[in-house]
Amino acid sequence: MPEVIETTVYRLDELSDDAKEKARAWYREGGFDYDWYDAVYEDFQRIAEILGIRFKTRTVRLLGGGSRQEPCIWFRGLWSQGDGASFEGNYAYRKNASAEIRSYAPKDTILHGIADALQSVQRRNFYQLRAEASHRGHYYHEYCMAISVTRDSPTYQDMTADAEEVITEALRDLARWLYRQLEREYDYLSSDEAVDETITANEYTFTENGRRFG
């Protein structure tokens, strides 16, 4: 004969402190199986556009059988050796980038410095420098970006001696900047405050010791 077993369930705010920690651990273990980084990527794409970077794209298959194009922006893990972010794309001079980046991100001195470095080296090369960033290797950090720099001069002038180094470092600095934003976003989303808010909003229930019920 089947038996009916009654279990008392609790909302997060009804649990003891130890049980709350177990409930949070349950959420953190499986709560990030979605594209939690979308907002960071969207911001990064706007910043790249301002600076003059056009991302390469890749085809992503959809469950319904279709496909869509996504920018080639990558990151791997958080806080482990070999972790980081990288991207693939093409860079060319964009007028007023330094002013626009200050308008878009007025307090971000890292981005201001990247824009200024690109502006300065372009000026020395009559705004003719172009660069391509491609991925290499099995990891995703700034040193996995193979960056080639050329000068599109109608009179075949060579680029200045510092051009390749300045642009390479600026693009790698941008990849480092992206990874820091991903770390900050993850820190926020996995904080007790944000986890509690999500658990409460979804009306998850738990047993007295903090084990997820249902």
Compute the distance between CA of residue 211 and CA of residue 189 in angstroms, rounded to an integer. 21
- Which backbone phi and psi does 54 adopt, to 5 degrees? -115, 115
pTM of the complete model: 0.90
Q: How far apart are CA 184 and CA 191, in angstroms?
A: 10
Per-residue pLDDT of the chain (214 residues), as tens digits, is 778 888 899 899 999 999 999 999 999 988 888 889 999 999 999 999 999 999 999 998 888 888 999 999 999 877 566 689 999 999 999 999 999 999 999 999 999 999 999 999 999 999 999 999 999 988 899 999 999 999 999 999 999 999 999 999 999 999 999 999 999 999 999 999 999 999 999 999 999 999 998 7
CB 144 within 8 A of CB 154: no
Domain extents for the chain?
A: 1-32+193-214, 35-189
